[in-house]
Amino acid sequence: MPPAVFLDRDGVINKTQVRDGRPYAPRLIEEFALLPGVNEAIGKLKGFGFRVIVVTNQPDVRTGKTALATVQAMHKIVLEQLGVDAIKVCYHVDQDACACRKPKPGMLLEAAKEWDIDLVRSFMVGDRWRDIEAGQAAGCRTVLVGQGYDGEKKVMADFEVASLLEASHVILKAGGRAG
C-alpha cells in the first residue's frame, strides 16, 4: 500500500486573498494563481512514489459566491499543470454536518479506500487548523504551511514550514522513499 501526500488547495498550492488576517479562496478563474515551487514540490513527491491528492473545502459553491464551473476550471488547471492523482472536494458548509468537510477526515478516508493508501505513512499538508485536524483524525502526519491566520484555532502539526516546496523536503526526509 503506497502512502499519499494530501494537499489542501487554497494557501498551499494556489494563492489566497487575505483580508483582515483571514484567507479567502479565489472566486474567479482570473484570481487563481499557483504558488511558486508547487510544480517542483509535487514532482519530487510523485518521483519518490507518493500519491498526491488534493482535498479541499469549497463552501463558496454552496453559498453561491463561486460558480461550480469556475471551481471545476481551477481543478482542471491543477490536474493538467501539476499532475496530481486526484482532487476531492467538499462543497458543504459546517451546518450541513457532512462527513467530508474538514476538519472531519471523510475526503482522506474516501481517497485512501479508492487508492489503497496507507494512511499511517501518509501526510496531510494544509494552511489551516481544519487541514491539520483532518490529517490527524485520518492517522496521517501533518505539515502546517505558514503560521496560521489571525484568530485561527491553534493546532500542533508534526511539522511547520513556509511553503509546499519546503514541505516536500521535510516529507521526503521524514518519510523517505514511498515506493
Q: Map residue 85 onto helix, strand or coil.
A: coil
Q: What single DSSP character describes residue 139? A: T
Kind and range of the H or E run holding 132: helix 129-138
Say if residues 140 and 108 touch (Cβ distance below 8 Å). Answer: yes
CB contact set of 93 (below 8 Å; sequence gap of 6+): 59, 62, 63, 101
Handedness of CA 115, 3, 168, 134 (dihedral sign): positive
Grid coordinates representing 88 are: 476531492
How confident is the model at residue 179, as a pLDDT? 57
How confident is the model at residue 161, as a pLDDT? 96
For 2, 5, 79, the CA distances from 141, given in Å and listed in that order, are: 15, 10, 24
How confident is the model at residue 178, as a pLDDT? 59
Q: Map residue 24 onto helix, strand or coil.
A: strand
Active site residues: 8, 10
Neighbouring C-beta atoms of residue 18, cutoff 10 Å: 12
pTM assigned to the model: 0.95
CA separation for the pair 49, 123 (Å, rounded): 13
How confident is the model at residue 68, as a pLDDT? 97
Average pLDDT value for residue range 44-49: 96
CB contact set of 21 (below 8 Å; sequence gap of 6+): 149, 150, 151
Torsion angles phi and psi, residue 146, rounded to 5: 85, -175
Q: What is the pLDDT of residues 72-131, one digit of tens each?
A: 999 999 999 999 999 999 999 999 999 999 999 999 999 999 999 999 999 999 999 999
CA separation for the pair 100, 27 (Å, rounded): 21
Q: What is the pLDDT of residues 4-17, one digit of tens each?
A: 999 999 999 999 98
Q: What is the pLDDT of residues 118-176, one digit of tens each?
A: 999 999 999 999 999 999 999 999 999 986 676 777 889 999 999 999 999 999 999 76
Cα-Cα end-to-end distance for the chain = 9
Please state the separation of Cα 65 from the chain's center in Å: 21
Q: In the CATH hierarchy, which fold is given to the domain comprising 4-175?
A: Rossmann fold (3.40.50)
